Amino acid sequence: MSLPAALLENALNWRRQLHQHPELGYQEQQTSELVAQVLTEAGLQVFRGLAGTGVIGTLENGPGPVIGLRADMDALPITEKGAPQWKSQTAGVMHACGHDGHTSILLAAACQLAATRNFSGTIHFIFQPAEENLGGARKMVEEGLFQRFPMDAVYAMHNWPGMPVGTLAVNPDAMMASLDSFEITLHGKAAMRRCRKAEPIQWWSPPN
């Protein structure tokens, strides 16, 4: 099913707007405002405040399963080097991992499903802050995400620039599910190596 041209244009504009105004984890104030505004205008019930800047949009359409669709909203502390028209206007911060795209895609999905109602059940659209190493998902869960919004399953996606346009990849097992970090301490003795003066290079020429 293809999306209406006007909605695709909106999604493109949302993505560029978010890319121009990236925000770090737990600081996604403008981003969550945009998300809440779009969801409200589409007719969803909007809930805010989980993990500070998290946003939940709920769409009900009769009896059926209850699922969650999730996107992350935060950017990275990276200086953008390119020069697109929608280049980051925040010094030292950019959407280098594609969360601007994820947010725009989920907003477009919410708008399309709200307009067509081509499903049965309830969908919670989860816009999560602080995905980049700050535990935003855990914080939303700890603050009652699944108590307030019980779900049978939650689905998410991540952009993959190496995939051909128009294709999706699905892994039946865990994938991109966690990040671990560790430190290594090396113990040794400092040493200095004396090097003799380099000998001149002797070039060999083939005989005539």
Domain boundaries, the chain: 5-156
Q: What is the DSSP letter of 143?
A: T
Cα–Cα distance, 205 to 203 (Å, whole number): 7
CATH code of the domain occupying 5-156: 3.40.630.10
For residue range 34-93, what is the model confidence (pLDDT) as tens digits? 999 999 999 999 999 999 999 999 999 999 999 999 999 999 999 999 888 999 999 999
Q: Residue 175 above 90 pLDDT?
A: no
Q: What is the DSSP letter of 94?
A: B
Cα–Cα distance, 157 to 13 (Å, whole number): 20
CA 107 to each of CA 104, 112, 134, 136: distance values in angstroms, whole numbers, following the listed order: 5, 9, 23, 19
For residue range 2-25, what is the model confidence (pLDDT) as tens digits? 789 999 999 999 999 999 999 999
Q: Residue 194 above 70 pLDDT?
A: no
Residue pair 99/71 in contact by the 8 Å Cβ criterion: yes
CA dihedral 152, 65, 111, 130 (to 10 degrees): -10
Rg, C-alpha atoms of the chain? 24
Residue 58 or 196, more confident? 58
Phi and psi at 198, nearest 5°, equal -65, 135
